[in-house]
């Protein structure tokens, strides 16, 4: 991007396309539009930043999915090279470490929807990053053959068919806590849906016998955080009643 004109050139292009609010004041004492006025735009002929008229794909790689797995929503990071839909059989892990060992022991097969739960805001606690699981999946050559869903989160370095921020999280009894090995899960970035092929009656039966596992912190700052933190669907804020 630097060779193509650096971030200011990208900002100038976005401003020209009406995608940037130019009248906002900046730390220079001038507006964004004034700051960009005399700066050069993108280098002619460059092929790094595609024009909005001919994007690489119709939508961005981040999609918000809802369904019986995530009634409050989830965040799918799907570029399209992995496909736009996945249907597979659930294999559940109640922590990141168990999943890592299963992949290392070659216990995860193609066609699996890997479920890593109890890694959400309260269960983690703090919604830890699931970079290691996605890296292990890629290293095992399963990147195009499995999907991963979690109530944890992902970073910019993660890739594959991955869905995070599943809400409500497992620690509070969200549907992700009720998924069992062998359940069929369907995910679609096109319809923005993530569903489990289990009836509402069966899920209610499972919920009735479900019990939350012990909290991973029972005192100190982390315990205070667990008590205060809201769902990921509400931004994991801690200052709302």
Cα–Cα distance for residue pair 17/31, rounded to 1 Å: 17
**Known catalytic residue: 155?**
yes
Contacts of 97 (CB under 8 A, 6+ apart): none
Cα–Cα distance for residue pair 72/168, rounded to 1 Å: 6
Which phi and psi angles does 184 have, rounded to 5°? -90, 130
What's the DSSP call for residue 198? S
The per-residue b/e assignment along 106-125, b for 16 or more CB within 10 angstroms, e otherwise, is eebeeebbbbbbbbbbbbbb
What's the DSSP call for residue 229? P
Catalytic choice (132, 135, 155, 233): 155
Cα–Cα distance for residue pair 143/154, rounded to 1 Å: 15
Q: Report, in angstroms and rounded to the nearest whole number, the Rg of the chain calculated over CA atoms.
A: 21
Active site (catalytic) residues: 155
């Amino acid at each position: 991007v630097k060779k193509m004109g650096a971030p200011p050139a990208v900002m100038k292009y976005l401003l020209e396309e009406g995608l940037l609010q130019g009248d906002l004041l900046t730390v220079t004492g001038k507006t964004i539009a004034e700051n960009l006025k005399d700066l050069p735009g993108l280098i002619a002929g460059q092929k790094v930043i595609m024009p909005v008229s001919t994007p690489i794909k119709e939508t961005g790689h981040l999609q918000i999915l809802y369904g019986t797995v995530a009634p409050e929503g989830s965040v799918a990071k799907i570029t399209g090279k992995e496909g736009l839909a996945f249907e597979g059989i659930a294999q559940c892990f109640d922590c990141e470490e168990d999943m890592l060992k299963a992949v290392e022991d070659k216990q995860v097969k193609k066609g699996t929807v890997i479920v890593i739960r109890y890694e959400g805001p309260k269960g983690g606690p703090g919604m830890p990053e699931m970079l290691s699981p996605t890296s292990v999946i890629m290293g095992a050559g399963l990147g195009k053959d499995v999907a991963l869903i979690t109530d944890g989160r992902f970073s910019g370095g993660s890739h594959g068919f991955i869905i995070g921020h599943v809400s409500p999280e497992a620690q509070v009894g969200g549907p992700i806590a009720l998924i069992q090995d062998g359940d069929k899960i369907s995910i679609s970035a096109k319809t923005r849906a993530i569903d489990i092929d289990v009836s509402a009656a069966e899920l209610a039966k499972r919920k009735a016998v479900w019990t939350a596992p012990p909290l991973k912190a029972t005192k100190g700052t982390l315990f205070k955080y667990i008590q205060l933190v809201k769902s990921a669907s509400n931004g994991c804020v801690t200052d709302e009643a």
